Structures are given as C-alpha cells and as structure tokens.
Structure 1
C-alpha cells in the first residue's frame, strides 16, 4: 500500500489496467483448467481494490 501512495494518478491508472488484464487472463486460464496457482486470482483482486482505494483517496483529497 505504501508504494501506491507515492504514485501519480496516471501511474495508478496504468497499474489498474495491467492488473485487470492479468485478472482476465487468470480467469481464462482457470476456466480452461490451465491455472496451477488459483490463489493468484485473489491476490490480483485485492491489488485492484488497493489501487482503486488509493485513487479515490487522492480524488477526495484534491476536492
């Protein structure tokens, strides 16, 4: 969480897009029974939530 606080909104947005793409790929692999580490889905979902939380905090702080 600390590493996310120091990033700009553009960097956070880029990370969010990358994390969502990774989540899509993981879900696809899980559906086709190619995913070995299913706990990675949970980690990526939590990371997306962290990024969105930091983005909303920065948005509220700027208002």
Structure 2
C-alpha cells in the first residue's frame, strides 16, 4: 500500500492496519521457517508497510504535541 493510502486513514484505522500487518508478518515468518513461502518479496513489503504506519503515527503524535 502506498504511503498516501495510509495518510487518509484515521488513527483507529492505522492501528487496525498495523495489527493486521503484524499478524501477516508472523504468518510469513512461520511459512519461511517451514519453506512454504510462496512469495518471498511479501516479507519485505509487509515490513516496510509496518514502518510506514509507525512513522506516520509518530509524525501525528509529534504534530499533536507541538500544538
């Protein structure tokens, strides 16, 4: 998902997306450990999406505290 897609989400939606991505990351780790991973590039995509969401949350928190 592109960064702009996350910008349009509310804080609750971001938390939900983050939880879903963490579950997917957990499942991908198990698939990788058992050599059942169909799309290895998905691991990288999920990791980067998690980082995007966390960065956006940090930016929002800092913007809110600066006001």
TM-score norm. by structure 1 comes to 0.95
In structure 2, which of residues 10, 28, 38 is the aligned counterpart of residue 8 of structure 1?
10
- CA distance, structure 2, for counterparts of residue 37 and residue 16 of structure 1: 20
Match of 1:53 in 2: 55
Please report the RMSD computed on the Cα atoms of aligned residues, expressed in angstroms: 0.6
TM-score norm. by structure 2 comes to 0.90
Gaps of 5+ in 2: none
Tell me the number of residue pairs that the alignment of Structure 1 and Structure 2 aligns: 63
